[in-house]
């Protein structure tokens, strides 16, 4: 489908990798696209990128973790180069390209996952996460940065406009993982992240932690519309 718009301005940037990019600011009329009409709750994580209320589990590709050895090796080579030399400049470019590859891989993954969700669903319920506070935990900071929930949610929100999708954010402190989706009992023992499956002490329903959380997020999100 041809897109008609007006280019307002263009910005040329040179990245540390030596590549040039042109960013266009365009005024255009966005034509609405149809969506699949589904309703879904999403529980994001580190081990799995997300689990949804339909039972779909999307694995976390962990691009940064997989490239960490190479990045450290390239950084070490850079530190050995003489300052001000051409070899140091070349090595700096190699390091920048290695980082850029990780960024591009992550962005491509997020774009594809967010597009699938807005195409298939009319309503998407997500968590209101305080990511800046979460990365203060030094043990999880790198993993949280690598998974990039913030970028993922931003993509969902701007694509939701194109597909007329409703996005609902569940409050930060809603205990989605601890609440039994069957009877509503709150099991505080599930605060321990090591617990991946649990049985409700009240109604004895067995839960997968992430699936149960995503179902609770969906129900809570739908309740916000009432």
SS3 147: helix
Q: Cα–Cα distance between 20 and 13 in angstroms, integer?
A: 6
Options 43, 74, 146, 215, the catalytic residue = 43
- SS3 state at 81: coil
> Is residue 208 flagged as an active site residue?
no
- Strands (DSSP E) contained in 29-135 are 38-44, 48-52, 57-59, 121-127
Per the annotation, the verdict on 127 as an active-site residue is yes
43 is catalytic: yes
Asked whether the beta carbons of 50 and 58 are under 8 A apart, the reply is yes
From 52, 74, 127, 146, active-site residue: 127
Candidates 52, 74, 146, 210; catalytic one: 210
Question: Kindly report the CA angle at 113 between 98 and 30, in degrees rounded to 5?
Answer: 105
Token match 């255009």: residue?
Answer: 28
Which residue numbers are catalytic? 43, 127, 210
């Amino acid at each position: 489908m041809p897109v008609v718009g007006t280019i307002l301005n263009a910005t040329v940037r040179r990245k540390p990798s030596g590549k040039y990019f042109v960013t266009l600011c365009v005024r255009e009329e966005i034509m609405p696209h149809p969506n699949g009409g589904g309703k879904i709750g999403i529980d994001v994580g580190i081990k799995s990128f997300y689990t949804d209320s339909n039972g779909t589990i999307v694995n976390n590709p962990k691009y940064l973790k997989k490239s960490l050895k190479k990045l450290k090796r390239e950084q070490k080579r850079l530190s050995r180069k003489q300052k001000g030399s051409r070899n140091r400049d070349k090595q700096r470019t190699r390091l920048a390209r290695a980082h850029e590859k990780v960024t591009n891989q992550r962005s491509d993954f997020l774009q594809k996952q967010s597009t699938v969700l807005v195409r298939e669903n009319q309503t998407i319920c997500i968590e209101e996460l305080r990511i800046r506070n979460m990365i203060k935990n030094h043990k999880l900071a790198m993993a949280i940065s690598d998974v990039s929930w913030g970028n993922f949610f931003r993509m969902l929100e701007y694509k939701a406009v194109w597909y007329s999708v409703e996005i609902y954010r569940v409050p930060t402190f809603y205990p989605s993982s601890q609440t039994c989706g069957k009877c509503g009992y709150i099991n505080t023992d599930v605060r321990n992240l090591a617990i991946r499956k649990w049985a409700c002490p009240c109604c004895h329903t067995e839960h997968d932690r992430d699936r149960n959380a995503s179902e609770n997020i969906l129900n809570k999100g739908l309740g916000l519309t009432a």
